Amino acid sequence: MRIATWNVNSITARLPRLLAWLESSGTDVLCLQEAKVAEEQFPVEALRELGYESAVHATGRWNGVAVLSRVGLEDVVKGLPGDPGYEGAQEPRAVSATCGPVRVWSVYVPNGREVGHPHYAYKLQWLEALRTAVAGDAAGARPFAVLGDYNIAPADDDVYDRAAFESATHVTPAERAALAALRESGLSDVVPRPLKYDHPFTYWDYRQLCFPKNRGMRIDLVYGNGPFAAAVKDAYVDREERKGKGASDHAPVVVDLDV
């Protein structure tokens, strides 16, 4: 079984690449972030023609998450229980579903903007709500994983230059402590480091030739419980999909399971 996560940075802009990648990669379940469309605009029919069902939580221009599956899609939950909301509104940042023998969450963690900003406090509150929401499944016997764009680099090796992020979000002790608390609920990072290269980044800014210069970050993560981690046979970042015209600024992260 092949499961992946990918921040596509607009499913409308990326649809031809997404459909081609699904066909060529043999992915069974894809957790998708930053759909940037309303649910009624999501390309459900185009995906159904490839054999994928869609569970979508999206409201418009920003955010938006989905789970795409060709192995079944049941018990869909839209939104994060206990979501603290931002400026009086709950944003579409989480959706969960059971896909065959595995249950997954697709999450798009708030960016945080800058340290001290209200959005940074919201990010930490949202991560605590996520930890609480997944604790039961994380401790369970069924393979379970939380996949997505966490907007946090877990360690200094997960950014191209730690000094370049001094006093910035994505690398602060509080954000990393929130990730550690999530792992303590019974989850672990199932994508090993290093992979086939020294720095398996998943995101490169469009600006300043960041991708050709490999000035990236590893912020797209797959956190699985014990049964999920035990089933992992391979994992990789599909860096090739970041190349070329019309690419997302994120690359897919792929995990192969024996379940």
Cα 103 from Cα 87, distance rounded (Å): 31
Q: Which of 177, 109, 189 is nearest to 149 (CA)?
A: 109
The answer to whether 149 is annotated as binding is yes
Coil/strand/helix, residue 98 = strand
Give the contacts of 18 (CB within 8 A, at least 6 positions apart): 6, 8, 11
CA angle in degrees (0–180, nearest 5) for 23-143-79: 75
Cα 80 from Cα 140, distance rounded (Å): 19
Cα 218 from Cα 149, distance rounded (Å): 9
Amino acid at 14: R
The answer to whether 170 is annotated as binding is no
Cα 84 from Cα 126, distance rounded (Å): 6
Coil/strand/helix, residue 126 = helix
The answer to whether 249 is annotated as binding is yes
The answer to whether 63 is annotated as binding is no
CA-to-CA separations, 106 to 64, 161, 251, in angstroms, rounded: 10, 28, 15
The answer to whether 151 is annotated as binding is yes
CA-to-CA separations, 144 to 34, 91, 116, 140, 177, in angstroms, rounded: 22, 23, 33, 8, 22
Cα 206 from Cα 189, distance rounded (Å): 27
Catalytic residue list: 108, 149, 250
Residue stretches of the annotated binding site? 7, 34, 149, 151, 249-250
Residue stretches of the annotated binding site for Mg(2+)? 7, 34, 149, 151, 249-250
